[in-house]
Structure formats: C-alpha cells, structure tokens
Structure 1
C-alpha cells in the first residue's frame, strides 16, 4: 500500500500549519471580516462611505529576493514584501486596501519556516490596514526541489470610480515629492544576486553601511498605505517605483503632453545603491532599481507644504510641458 505521505505530501503537517498561523491571521481581522479561518473562501463585508465604488485587484510576488531568504534561512520579513508589492500598487489608483490572500507553494512544508512567512504577511497586512482573510498552501514535490518554495499575493481594494485614473488630475507645474524607500525593495534581485554573489563573490556577512549584506538586501519593502490615507486629499497622483525604476513608472501617471523633470542631485540614495553603481551603468541602475525612491507623489504647489509637513518626503522635481517621459536633469 502507498500513501499520500509516501508521495511527498503530509496532510498532518498542513493541518498543524493552519493551527499555528491562526493567531497571526486573526490579528489582522476587522469588523468587515465575516467568519473565521477554515472555510472554503474568505468573506469580507464591503465598507460603507463610498458613493460610486469600484473594486480593484492587484497580484504580485517577491521575485528572486525569495532566493536570498531561502539561502539565508531568514523568513521573517519576506511576507511584508509580498503585501507591500500588492497594496502599494492599489493605492496608486486611490484604492483603500480591504483584504489580502496568499499562495504558498513548496516541495515539502516546513511548518516553522512557513509560520514565519505568514507572520510576516500578517505584519504587512497590519501595516496596510487590511485583513488577511485566506490563503492556500500546496506541497508539490514534483514541481519544487528540496527547500524551495514560492509566494504569490492577492490584494483587493475599493475606490471611487472617478478617482481611479489619476492622469486627469496631473497638471503643469505640479511638484514631484519622493517618499524614501527602505532599500532595494523587491525588484532587480536577479541583477543584485549576480553582482554580489557571482561577480564579487561576497558572503552574507559583508558589511555595507555598518550592516550585514544579507540584512541590507532583505530589508522589507516599505508600505505606503498610511501616507496615502493621511495625505489623500492633497495628492494628485502616485507612482509606485518598482521594476523599471523612476524611468518607466513615473510616466504611467502623466497625461499626454506633460513631462516629469527629475533632479538627480536631489535624490537621496542609500549606500547599497552607491555600492552597486561602481559596477553597473547609471542608466541601468535607474531603469532597474528605485534608487531610494519608493513612491513618487505628484502634488499641486498649493499643497506641497502640507504634504512635506506630514511625511518624510522631499522634492525631486516638477511637471512641465513636453513629451510624456521622465527627463533627469
């Protein structure tokens, strides 16, 4: 006789995992969550207060940053990254995050490792003020090898229909305000890994800016939901600076006929970007990494002082007439 466990899938471990993560999941619940953990789907009551609401969805992963988490056995922050990459996209369309779901696929479920991942996801959800209402864990030894696993996240938010397209609110002479990143965030890690560990052959304990390299590289992606909710009336548009950098992401909020002038000397880049810039061309750096700018706010001049007084942002440029693109000056 042969069992499912003989084939590499341990149902008992899966059940143990569900019990282990219940406290983390429940800590993200609010009054709109219907039911608990263990049903066939997560239920969420739509909040009131919207006049012409629309639901928006975003999905993402954390890319090959996950490879570093696996190799270093550090799993406590990668879940924050997962939430951040989804909710930071939602708020760029002025959607208030409502709930989140995760998908965790692995060769063999390690309950303690997976628990750390979900603990991070729950922390990310609390930072994003959304509820973790469900997820899926899959053991697939035929697809994944040894200690490998993968993550995907799914976030849903709500916005007023007329608020979704932000390009119509962006005007000539608007000011560009950078919200600092916490580091590399979750993009460009194929290049990061090739540079640090193949070309330079560094180890995880190499020091950068007084910190271990692995801690710098695994610093969790910053979540900007608080800033969005606090400053929403003063913001014309927001651009999440992910893969493609400022170069490719900022034009996504510009209407035709307007150009973003960004002053290079105004950008405050963390030491890790300065280190990489010794080996990677400047143009490549700016179209791969956030360079220290995790989110760009487009703000009318009349609102600039209010925004700057209520966040850690700083001015990096302005909107002018011209081709729809970013011009670094």
Structure 2
C-alpha cells in the first residue's frame, strides 16, 4: 500500500494540521487568568492557585447542539453554532453558582474542510469570550463512513469554580421568593427536531409575518444567549437563591429543578415576553398552547428565585429588562402552575 494510504481511505492529515493553524488566533481571544500551556498538547491545563477562591468546588457541564446543527449545514452557516455549544454548557454551570473557567470542544466530521471548521471554532471562541472562560483544548476527528462529507457533530464541556458557601443547589429557595426571568435570544438549542419538522418545506429565505422582517433562517440560527456576565455578579453578592436554565423540557421540566419537592412555581403567563418565533411555531405547527411551555423557553432563557427584598438591587445591577414572572408557593399538585 502506498504512503498515501490514509488519504486514500478518506482522512486528510494535512487538512487537520491546517485546521489547528487556522484556529490558533481564535483560541488566543479566550486567554484568561489561570490558563496554562498552549494549543496542541495532550491535555489542557489550568492553574487554580491563580484564583481568589478559599474553598473551591469544581462544577462541570457537558452538552452538544442537537439537530440545530442540521440547519447550520443546510443553510451553510457555521459561525454561530459554536456559541450554542458553549452556551449550553456554561449556562448550566452558572445555574449552580459557578464561574466558567475553561472549555474544550469536540468536532467530528465526514470530511475535514479547514475553512468551515475554522468558522465553527470561531463561534466556540466567541462563546468562550462572552462566558469569560478559556478555550484550552479540543479535538477534531475526521471519520469518513461515519458521517457524510458535509456533515459534522459538535459537543463540548465546561468546568467552572464556585466558592463552597455560594453553591446554588436549591436548598435556599423558599415560599414567597420572587421568580425573575431574563430574556432568551430565541429558540436557543433545543426542540429543533420539532422545529425542522414544522418548517421542513421552507427554504429559510422566507420572511414570515410573525418574524418582524427577519428571514426565517436568521431567526432559527440565532445563537443561544450566554448569561454568565449578567448572573455571576448576582451570585457573588448572594442575591440569588435558585437558578433554572430553561432548555429541553421548557418551563415544566426545568423550573422544578431549582427547588425542593414541597414547593412549586406559580407563573403569570402574561408577564412572559413571548418572542415572535414561538408564536410562529405554535401557529404553523398547530401545537397545543400549553405544550409550548413543555418544549420551549418561550422568551425566558434563565429564571431566578430571589428574596423579595433583593429584587430592587438585582434590577439595579442588571442593564437589561428583568421580568417578574411569578413566585414560589407551597406545592398543591403540580410543580409548575401557569396562571
């Protein structure tokens, strides 16, 4: 067999080297205190001694992007999907009170196209910049036969640190707490198997009446919002009792994860800033209205349970709309009650 045997099997080693060179400038954007070493080693390194944390607890999260990737491939737009991957991980760990420290990604593809993969990693780097965490490593795997030539998958994980006394585990949430919501940027990164079915016959170029002048593909690929910069100062000031990242399962599955079983969330639906895309999904998909809250974030990507006396201070600290959408009550039957 010739010395080009690996290339003949569909794996381009030289393209892999090119990807590494292309992404170095994007990785450099994510440098932060504690990051050690350089890209290309066998493991990413982070120096915890650089941090001013007395009782450090490491909190980690891992996720992918799901079938939203299929729309990125369909529309040939790859520069934002990386932010989605970062967001799904760092939003989970900020919900536990952790500051994201570093992120690693994994990209598997059928054919290594350096320019396209650079776009993906550029999106990952942008997400890391927004989250304040370092991109300290990753892996690109070219697997012809496992994936089609145009296909790729993206996953990653983040590690954060919390002061042991500031961990948010739901134990502090109490009856009478106010529920505050922060807006989502759109669908974020869940429910896309349903989204794709609803819009299966659309090209993405359409401007639906509900979408306020935006093309459908722009709205569907809007990257997931990262909440770290907004929420971390509130956590460090001790203003938050519980946090729910509203992802797959919508309100019904995620909100109860931030409080004990004897409590419930009473949510006033009219206080939720429902985004146009959710109205379109409900209409064109003929989805039962109540079921929408079991699938999507509906315009609220992150929810916090806080003491009533902390509401004014939180609104003062946050340079964005803060929605008072309900309160914590004693559980009667359901864990989430929509009013």
Calculate the TM-score normalised by the size of structure 2: 0.94
Q: Measure, in 2, the Cα distance between the counterparts of 1:161 and 1:217.
A: 38
Aligned structure 1 segments of 4 or more residues deviating by more than 6 angstroms: none
1:207-230 alpha-carbon deviations (Å, 9 max, x no partner): 122100000000000000001122
- What is the aligned partner in structure 1 of residue 153 from structure 2? 150
Q: CA deviation at 1:236?
A: 1.1
In structure 2, distance between residues paired with 1:298 and 1:156: 24
Displacement of 1:165 after TM fit?
A: 4.5
CA distance in 2, matches of 1:283, 1:187: 17
Shift of 1:163: 3.3
Match of 1:297 in 2: 304
Paired with 1:37 and 1:265, the residues of 2 have a C-alpha distance of 49
2:168 and 2:243 in contact (8 A); partners too: no
What is residue 243 of structure 1 aligned with on the other side?
Answer: 248
Which of 150, 166, 174 is 2:169 aligned to?
166
Deviation at 1:51, TM superposition (A): 2.1
- 8 Å Cα contact 2:168/2:241 also seen in 1: no
* 1:26 matched residue in structure 2: 28
Partner residue of 2:328?
319
Which stretch shows the higher mean deviation, 309-318 or 144-153? 309-318
Give SS of 1:170's match. coil
Deviates more, 1:51-60 or 1:7-16: 51-60
* Counterpart mapping for 1:73-92 below 5 A: 73-92=76-95
Determine whether 1:120 maps to 2:123: yes
Map 1:6-85 → 2, pairs under 5 A: 6-46=8-48, 47-85=50-88
Query: What secondary structure is seen at the aligned counterpart in 2 of 1:100?
Result: strand
Q: Offset of 1:78 from its aligned partner?
A: 0.3
* Structure 2: runs of 5+ lacking an equivalent: none
Measured in 1, the distance between the counterparts of 2:331 and 2:14 equals 62
Secondary structure in 1 matching 2:6? coil
CA RMSD of aligned residues (A): 1.1
Measured in 1, the distance between the counterparts of 2:186 and 2:296 equals: 10
Q: Retained in 1: the 8 A contact 2:32–2:132?
A: no
